[in-house]
Homo-oligomer: A and B are copies of this chain.
Amino acid sequence: MSEREPLSLVLFSGTDDRLDSATMLIAGAAASGRSVHVLLQYWALEAFRRDSIRKDHGVSAEAGPEGASVLGRWQEQNPVHWSDTLRQVKAMGRVRILACSMSMDLFHLAPGDLDPMVDGVEGIASFWAGADGGSVMFV
């Protein structure tokens, strides 16, 4: 497959519904031949802590109790966690996941605190340099 324009995605939210959606978008973009550059900020960065990436991260407030229970039943029937899907997608080579240096400071995190699928730490200027000539998205 020929090279497509890259996707640079700022992942800000850390609820399981948005992380599920972001994972599917990243997987689809990589499968379509795009390289994908993910910058983890704020609550998304928190969600990638090594010791809690698989814990329950809640859902968007707008889900309400009814929406949360729909997602809960779905997860029982489809027990592959978004983090496992993302790890598989990463193994295919088109996806890089970086932690925002400012958010690392904010949450007093060191690189060793994060899930090994996070490739490193970067500043926002580096993120933008990599975004030239491609699409950007904020989730």
Contact = CB atoms under 8 A, between A and B. Distances in A.
Interface in A1-38: 4-5, 7, 10, 12-15, 17-18, 21, 24-25, 27-29, 31-32, 34
A69 to B, nearest CB: 12
Interface stretch (A48-56, A91-99, A110-118, A127-135): A127-135
A114 to B, nearest CB: 16
A100 B13 CA distance: 20
A62 B14 contact: yes
Interface residues on A, range: 35 or more
A80 interface: no
A29 B128 contact: yes
A126 B136 CA distance: 18
23 contacts: A5-B132, A12-B21, A12-B139, A13-B60, A13-B62, A21-B41, A24-B100, A25-B124, A25-B138, A27-B124, A28-B123, A28-B125, A31-B125, A32-B125, A34-B128, A43-B60, A43-B62, A46-B67, A61-B61, A61-B62, A74-B106, A136-B136, A137-B138
